[in-house]
């Protein structure tokens, strides 16, 4: 498989994944019952599975791996933080104010992940 095709697929999945998260988070904060829409419950899992598959393939092609290469370790740990923050942001049983805090923290974490991906540095090029 062509490296650049998989890289483009990975980037497209990142954009789609973050867009779906932002949509669900915005609907959550607006009090809209987004869980009743099957597409918004299932699509993020499909997109994220393709995203992770492409990430593993790209890492193997680059011969760079988390816990070996610092920038990928930072991305991996930030991804874990993003998932945990995102899970809290989308909880239906907490106050909108608390959801907002987790939502903004999750988006900030995504910005860090993208910065690390672009610079290949956990310090964002520093």
Query: Kind and range of the H or E element at 51?
Result: helix 38-62
- Give the length of the chain: 126
Q: How far apart are CA 21 and CA 23, in angstroms?
A: 5
Q: How far apart are CA 102 and CA 86, in angstroms?
A: 7
The three-class DSSP label of residue 124 is coil
The full set of domain ranges for the chain reads 3-119
Q: Is the pLDDT of residue 63 over 70?
A: yes
State pLDDT tens for residues 27-45. Answer: 999 999 999 999 999 999 9
State pLDDT tens for residues 81-103. Answer: 999 999 999 999 989 999 999 99
């Amino acid at each position: 498989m062509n490296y650049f095709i998989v890289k483009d697929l990975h980037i497209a999945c990142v954009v789609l994944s973050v867009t779906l998260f932002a949509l669900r988070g915005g609907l959550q904060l607006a009090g809209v019952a987004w869980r009743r829409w099957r597409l918004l419950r299932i699509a993020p899992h499909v997109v994220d599975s393709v995203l992770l598959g492409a990430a593993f393939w790209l890492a193997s092609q680059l011969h760079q791996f988390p816990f070996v290469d610092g920038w990928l370790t930072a991305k991996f740990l930030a991804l874990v933080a993003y998932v945990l923050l995102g899970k809290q942001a989308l909880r239906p049983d907490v106050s909108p104010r608390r959801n907002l805090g987790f939502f903004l923290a999750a988006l900030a974490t995504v910005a860090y992940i993208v910065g690390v991906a672009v610079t290949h540095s956990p310090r964002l090029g520093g």
